Each structure stands twice: as C-alpha cells, then as structure tokens.
Chain A
C-alpha cells in the first residue's frame, strides 16, 4: 500500500476504534466500578451493623456481670463475704449459671485482700496502689483494662465498692478471659476475618487472630477513629487491604475492631463483575476485528476506484495530447504548403518560359530543364509529406474494406526485408493460417505494422531476432511484434505512446510513430499495448476487432 493509502487507513482505523471502543469501554468500565462500589458499600454496611451488634452483646455481657456484683456488694455484709467458704460457695453458684468469673475477692478500704477464692494465691495482697482499686473506691463501680497484676496473667476485673458510713470495702471479680475472648471472636467471619478489643492506649484487650497477643500494641491509630461506629478501608501491618469496622464500647473505654478481607466476602459477588469484564473484552475484540476488516475493504475499493480514474484520466490526457498534436501538424503543414506552392509556381513559370525549343538554344539547356523538373518532383515529395500530416491532423475517417491481416503483414514485411537482411536480423513470420477477413483500413494498418517492425529492427540492432505473429482470439485478431532487444526501461514504459517521446538519438526518430500507431488502432476499434520485459525485449500487441466485412 502506498503512503497516502496507509495514512488514510491508519487515520480511519484510529477514528473508528475511538468512536466505538471509547463509549463501549466507558460504559463497561463504569459498570465495573459501579459493581465494585456497590458491593463494597453493601459489605461496609453489613460490617458496621455486625460491629454494632457485637458491641451491644459485649456491653450487655459486662453490664449483667457488673449488676450482679453490685447486688452482691450492696446486699451482703462484710462478715458474710469475708468467710472464704461462703465466698467459694457464691462463686460456684454463679459459675454454675455460666457467669464466667475466675475468682472473687474482698478488699478492705486499706487495700488489703481480706478474702479470696480462685486459682491464684492472692490473699493478703495489697491493692492500695492498683488503679482499679483507686477507681472503684472513687467511682463505686469500675471495670478495668487488661493488666498482669500479681498473678502475672493478663486479665481484667470488675470492682464494686460497698459503702456503709465509714466502713467501705470492694468486691472484686475477674472475668474468665476465655469466655470473654470467645464472645468477641463471634464477630469474626471467614478465614481471614479478625475481631478484637483495644483499650485507649491501643493495647489488645483480647487476642487478635492475626495481629498478636493480649496487651500487645495494635497498629491502629486510635486518634483517627470516629466516635460511635464506623467502617474504614485500611492496610494492615502485614500489608493486606482490609475493611475495618470500629465500634466504641463501654462509654469509649474500649474499641471493638473487626477486620474483614473484602475479597473473601466479595468473591462470589465479583463473579458477575468479572463476567461483565469478559463480555466487554470480547465485544472490544469483535469491534477491533470488524473495524480492521471494514477499513481494509474500504481502502481496497478506494484504490480500485482511484486506479480506474487514473486510467481514465491518462486516456483523456492522451487524447487531448493527440488533438493538440493534430492542430500543430496542421499548422506546420500550412506553413510549409504556402512556400511549396510558391516554389512550384515559380519553377513552373520558368518551365513555361523555357519550353524545349528555348532550352535547346541555351548552353547546357538540358541541365536547366532537368533541374526544373527535379524541383517540381521535390515539391511533389514535400507535398506528400505535408498532406500526410494534414491527413493525420484531420483524423480522416478510416476507409474500411475486407482485409486479410496476414496479407498486410507480409506486404509490410516486404518493405523492411532488405533492411533486415542488411542488418543481419532474422525476422520470423509466424502467421496463423485461415484468419478471417476483417473490416478495417488497409493503408492505416500497414502504417502501424511497418512502424512496429521498424522499431523492432532498430531495437535489436545487428544480429538480433524479430518475431511477427498473428492469431484469432475470440472476437479479436491479435498481431504481436516481439524483438530480442533490451526492452523498454520500466520508468519509460508509461510514456512510449506519447507524441514526440523517443528513445532514439536526436534526428533518428520523430517520436510520433507509436503515438500515431496507437491512435490508428484505437480509431479502428482496437488497441495497441506494450508487453514489456526489460532486459529481454519488448512485445507490441495489436488487437483488432474481428468484424467481418459487409457482404455486398
């Protein structure tokens, strides 16, 4: 494909792809993102609600236990609770109803552990400096953060103060961490879900499945967590993209955190999205293939049309050149005919005066008479030339008669036979016998054949070969004149039928022979074409309509 076509093809392809693929993919991608967005939003909302539910459950769990301890603290007397067997009895009754207390203890206002039931040896320990004790003494009821304490095991306690005048003491219970942790863990979903509680210092209050042990700091920036409940997208310490629901519990004391890998939940939902993506890709592929095929078809059609138009243009230009050539020939003939006429009259007048009897009187009168005669002959010769030019110019109508092409070819050959012999050129006549007679112009055909044979002789030079053949081909008669010469250079092949175009040396040819031959064959309803084989000779093909002569 030549440059302008390649450019056009590229531009058309780009534009067509843009106007089809842009809206298609715009629609597809916006759907894709909408799916994504909608699914994520739904998941976030679900996560937030789960966090709220869990937070309520945890708060309820703690509130129940606090209430029970308050009833105990306010309802019982110290002497009763200081009795460790009574206290143990109480603990076992409460735990029978799965109240999940690890131990119970009574601490007097000096911070001395007066009575204790539980798995640790904590009796008589001093708690005066323990923050939970101070808080309980101050506020009456206090739920601690997780701490190690004397037992060196992470736990948290609920402390309730009994106040009766100057006598006050604190009832303390440790919540069973396993039970509490299980409760928090019910908020986990799936293989990658995580749920845990943080205190205000960001320390884990319950173990995180993926993030660490109790009391480890958790990588959550508490300052940025909104009050109440919220859902954010964040990256975990190990680089996973997760959705995280936060819910403050116990009046902002603790933060319930639920991590969820959205991929795990959204996986099935994303199937629809991926199907859409696949359909989009397939549609785009179809569009691309269709665009390429259509552009290709269009360009090919365009090339065909252009080629046809170029051929017509060339034909018109050729005809126009022949017409102007005709005008020029007529002008030239005129310019020569006038002086010829004068010369003829002038010489004729001298001949009129010097009649033979007068010539006889002159010395060398014979030569004078002969020269006058020769002048007239030369005028006649020039007249022949100019009248032929005029004939060409006038494009005189062919004179049609029944013609044997082979006969004309043989006759034409007879004109060049001597020249061929002289140049040692072997001319092979390969004429198909029994060709039909056709209606054509004998003299003009002879001019064409003679011209082609002449050119062939010139092309092959000394010792070359020329082949002249004739045959019938359907509704055409074909005459081929081939030579073993160098052929026509490819870049000149398009111009050889132009008037005045010649490859011969100046003065050797007019450049009109092929042009005239071409126009003659066209006027006779046929054609003259070049089958060129640069380096291996040229073949000129004359095609004539196989029209039978009118029967008289």
Chain B
C-alpha cells in the first residue's frame, strides 16, 4: 500500500466507486464518501493525507467542506475536482489553501501525480511543523 491515505468525496457514485477501486488497484490507500458531511465524519475516525473533493455537491458543498477540513485538520491537503469551472470557486478554493483545482474529466495518471505532489508538500510542511511524517511501511 501507498505511504499515504487518500479520501475521495463525490456525490457521483459511479465515478466515486470506480475511482476508489482504481486507486486501490494502483496500491493507493483510498477511501470514498459521497458528501461533505460524510467526509468530516470519515476524517474523525480515519486519517487521510490528501482529500480529493468535488465542489458541487448537494448538502454541504466542496468549498464549505474544504473550510471545515482546513480548520480541523490543517495538515491535510485538498485537491478540488469539479465539472464546473467557475473562476470564483477556483479562486475561493485556492484562497482556502486547496492544493489544486482540477476540472473533470481528468486522466487517472494525472490525478495520481497531483495527489503525490500534494503529499510531498504535506510532508515538507509537516517536517517544518516538527511532526514526523507517517511511517514508511
């Protein structure tokens, strides 16, 4: 398994399930939930290093979820992934320290690349903050 944990949040079940399975097949420790609220619940119990977050969801939307995640778990990196490309949500997401803003559909390899980059940054930030990176098993 990968040295990092990924949580995918998307209300599109077909997309979510398939993506999670594909990540796992590539030895990425991935889990999936279908709403912002579920993501916060999940993070309470399970740790995650990178969250791939849809922006437009029913209930709590991606930007709101991002704000909560960054508040509760500042070390977690978030990649926004959306079908909608409004400049405002992009700018807002980046202002809330999302790692990146990607537009669907995105190639899996590309997504994994971005996830790894995000994790790299998390490691650096974590080291600077003094907390040891998760052990490399």
Select which of B12, B56, B83 is within 8 A of A336 by beta carbon: B83
Q: Are B18 and A342 in contact (CB under 8 A)?
A: yes
Interface assignment of B106: CB less than 8 Å from any CB of chain A: yes
Interface size on A, residues (CB 8 A): 24
User: A389 → chain B, closest Cβ, in Å?
Assistant: 9
Given the complex of chains A and B, what is the CA–CA distance between A337 and B81 in angstroms?
Answer: 11
Q: Which of A334, A343, A345, A393 has the most CB of B within 10 A?
A: A345
A340 B108 Cβ-Cβ under 8 A: no
CB neighbours (8 Å) of A390 from chain B are 85, 103
Q: Which residues from chain B contact A331 at a C-beta distance below 8 Å?
A: 84
Residues of B within 8 A of A344 (CB): 105, 107
Check A338–B85 contact: CB distance below 8 A.
Answer: no
Q: How would residues 377 to 402 of chain A score, 1 for a CB under 8 Å from any chain B CB and 0 otherwise?
A: 00100010001001001100000000
Do the beta carbons of B85 and A341 come within 8 Å of each other? no
Known contacts A334-B56, A345-B22, A346-B14, A340 near B84 by CB under 8 Å: no
- Is the Cβ of B108 less than 8 Å from the Cβ of A341? no
Please give, as numbers and ranges, the residues of chain A lying within 8 Å of B15 by CB-CB distance: 338, 341-342, 345
Q: A341-B105, A342-B14, A342-B15 are contacts. A348–B22 as well, Cβ < 8 Å?
A: yes
Q: What is the 8 Å Cβ interface bit string for chain A, positions 334-369, against chain B (1 contact, 0 not)?
A: 111110111111101100100000000000000000
Q: Which of B18, B56, B83, B86 contacts A346 (CB 8 A)?
A: B18
Query: Within B46-91, which residues are at the interface with A (CB < 8 Å)?
Result: 56, 82-87
Contact residues on B (Cβ < 8 Å of other chain), bracket: 20 to 34
CA distance A312 to B7 in the complex (A): 52
Q: A344-B105, A348-B22, A387-B103 are in contact. Are A330 and B84 (CB under 8 A)?
A: yes
Known: A341-B104, A345-B14, A345-B15. A333 touches B22 (CB 8 A): no
Q: Indicate whether B114 reaches chain A with its CB closer than 8 angstroms.
A: no
B114 to chain A, nearest CB (A): 15
| CB neighbours of A349 from chain B (8 A) | 18, 21-22, 25
Judged by a CB distance under 8 angstroms, whether B19 is at the interface is yes
Give me the 8 closest cross-chain CB pairs, A-B, nearest first.
A337-B83, A334-B84, A341-B104, A341-B105, A345-B18, A342-B15, A334-B83, A342-B14
Give 13 new A-B contacts, CB below 8 A, not counting A345-B22, A383-B105. Answer: A333-B85, A334-B56, A337-B83, A337-B103, A338-B83, A341-B12, A341-B15, A341-B104, A343-B105, A344-B107, A346-B14, A348-B22, A394-B85
Interface of A toward B, CB cutoff 8 Å: 330-331, 333-338, 340-346, 348-349, 352, 379, 383, 387, 390, 393-394
Q: Which residues of B are at the interface with A, using a C-beta cutoff of 8 A? A: 12, 14-15, 18-19, 21-22, 25, 56, 82-87, 103-108
A and B contact pairs by CB, cutoff 8 A, 13 listed:
A330-B86, A331-B84, A334-B85, A337-B105, A341-B105, A341-B106, A344-B107, A345-B15, A346-B18, A349-B25, A383-B105, A387-B103, A394-B87
